[in-house]
Amino acid sequence: MSLFRLDHVTKQYFTEGRPVSALTDVSLDAARGEFVALVGRSGCGKSTLLNLAGAMDFPTSGTVTLDGVETSSLNDAALTRLRRDKVGFIFQSFQLLPALSVIENVELPLMLAGRADARPLSKDALRWVEMEDYASRRPFQLSGGQMQRVAIARALVHSPSLLLADEPTGNLDTTTSDLILGLLRRVARETSTTILMATHSDEAAAMADTIVHLRDGRIA
């Protein structure tokens, strides 16, 4: 069974009353533990597709199914729960909170979910990305690659089934990018997390199991 699946998905945004087609008739699915790279130029619809796959937004037409659940069938509370339990997100700009320490950043999603085991799980997650020695540092005291490793720990701390990565190496040099991509490769293999990664780099995409090309909102 697919971990996520898009069936004939179309997404239009309305700006000043005019429709903009971000995705047109996109069908795509991924298995548990599969690492999928979504490649295409800026504006081709990559972030839109990630947001739909992660139940952050709804398609204009077509359906999105995440872990066997069709997202449009859920009410707001169920949708929030689905996202919180099943999805992790990492970004080009890391998006760590500057006022919090490394371990507090990683703990935050668990604290917000009211979990009592936030500290031990966060330590495990930091150990997994080999950042346990930096637990009490603040984000500004880290390199870009280290910040992305912390962001990966935060995204995985609740053991999501889907990790969405939106241009995760866009702000990193080649050597650091390779390290982060190698880590994502390991995440998919060793934890069976499905990864959907948006990138405009063919080199980054080469690390994935499956490469999907998007052009002007359509699968090429």
Ligand X SMILES: Nc1ncnc2c1ncn2[C@@H]1O[C@H](COP(=O)(O)OP(=O)(O)O)[C@@H](O)[C@H]1O
196 binds ligand X (CB under 6 A): no
Q: How far is the CB of 168 from ligand X (least distance, A)?
A: 13
Angle between helices 144-156 and 174-191 (to 10 degrees): 20
CA-CA-CA-CA dihedral for 64, 68, 70, 75, to nearest 10: -130
Out of ligand X, Mg ion, none, what residue 15 binds, judged by CB under 5 to 8 A for its kind, is: ligand X
Stretch that binds Mg ion, among 30-38, 46-54, 137-145, 152-160 (CB under 5 A): 46-54
CA-CA-CA-CA dihedral for 26, 29, 34, 40, to nearest 10: 0
15 binds ligand X (CB under 6 A): yes
CA distances to 32, 167, 173, 178 from 190, rounded to whole Å, are 11, 22, 25, 18
Q: How far is the CB of 65 from Mg ion (least distance, A)?
A: 23
Q: How far is the CB of 189 from ligand X (least distance, A)?
A: 26
Quote the CA–CA distance of 97 and 123 in Å, as a whole number.
18
Judged by CB under 5 A, the residue of 39, 47, 152, 205 near Mg ion is 47
Out of Mg ion, ligand X, none, what residue 13 binds, judged by CB under 5 to 8 A for its kind, is: ligand X
Judged by CB under 6 A, the residue of 22, 106, 196, 219 near ligand X is 22
Quote the CA–CA distance of 157 and 85 in Å, as a whole number.
10
169 binds Mg ion (CB under 5 A): no
Judged by CB under 6 A, the residue of 3, 6, 36, 47 near ligand X is 47
Nearer to ligand X, 39 or 155 (CB): 39
Judged by CB under 6 A, the residue of 9, 45, 86, 207 near ligand X is 45
Quote the CA–CA distance of 106 and 124 in Å, as a whole number.
10
146 binds Mg ion (CB under 5 A): no
Judged by CB under 6 A, the residue of 8, 19, 27, 43 near ligand X is 43
Q: How far is the CB of 82 from ligand X (least distance, A)?
A: 21
Quote the CA–CA distance of 180 and 138 in Å, as a whole number.
20
Q: Which of 34, 48, 58, 63 is nearest to 163 (CA)?
A: 34
Q: What is the DSSP string of 51-84?
A: HHHTTSS--SEEEEEETTEEGGGS-HHHHHHHHH
48 binds ligand X (CB under 6 A): yes
How is residue 65 written in tokens?
A: 């199914």
Q: Which residues bind Mg ion (CB under 5 A)?
A: 46-47
